[in-house]
Amino acid sequence: MRSGRNMIEVKVTKDTLIPAIEDVVKTWEDKKTAALVKGGSRALMMAAQLTTERLKKPGSYLQSFVVDVVRGKEMRLKNVHHAARILELGTRRKGYRIPRSGEGLWFFKEGVWKWRPYVIHPGIDAKKIIMDTIQKVMPEVMEELKKLLKTEKGG
């Protein structure tokens, strides 16, 4: 866990656990931050679960989730992997033509080298791991913040 001026960054890997911070909360801002950090830890665990379900080889993508919690204001779940945008949003179908150098596109199929002037890439389906995680976790976080607000106002 790393903290900066107005942000707490929590990065989870397979071996790290996010510590509970209830013993250090003293003010309303700290309580909100604690609720967001707890929600962030739940989001990380759920994102890890969805990643292992939706990707054949999650590898480094699984270890690249980051939660940013700005003190008592917002929680952001993101993935810093270089292929995150492609995996989350997917790609469309696209054709590739031969280069102008005249070399062409060679590939090995059915035991024979084949040449084609173009190939069609079918695209990649969007995995939507982060979006689905946020949609599942945010209602829980909002409910916890509402409970905090009720206890703060005394009602």
pLDDT tens digits for range 90-108:
999 887 776 666 566 777 8
Q: What is the pLDDT of residue 51?
A: 93
Q: What is the pLDDT of residue 147?
A: 85
Q: What is the pLDDT of residue 74?
A: 80
Distance of alpha carbon 118 from alpha carbon 92, whole angstroms: 16
When pLDDT is cut at 50, 70 and 90, the band that residue 13 belongs to is: very low
Residue 16 has pLDDT above 50, yes or no: no
In degrees to the nearest 10, what's the CA dihedral of 77, 80, 81, 83? Answer: 80
Q: What Å distances lie between residue 124 and 45, 70, 82, 83, 87, CA to CA?
A: 25, 33, 16, 12, 8
Average pLDDT over residues 55-72: 86
When pLDDT is cut at 50, 70 and 90, the band that residue 4 belongs to is: very low
Q: What is the pLDDT of residue 118?
A: 75
CA 98 to chain centre: 36
Q: What residue spans define the domains of the chain?
A: 2-90+125-153, 92-124
* Residue whose token pair is 């309580």: 31
Distance of alpha carbon 147 from alpha carbon 60, whole angstroms: 37
Residue 42 has pLDDT above 80, yes or no: yes
pTM: 0.66
Q: What is the pLDDT of residue 27?
A: 60
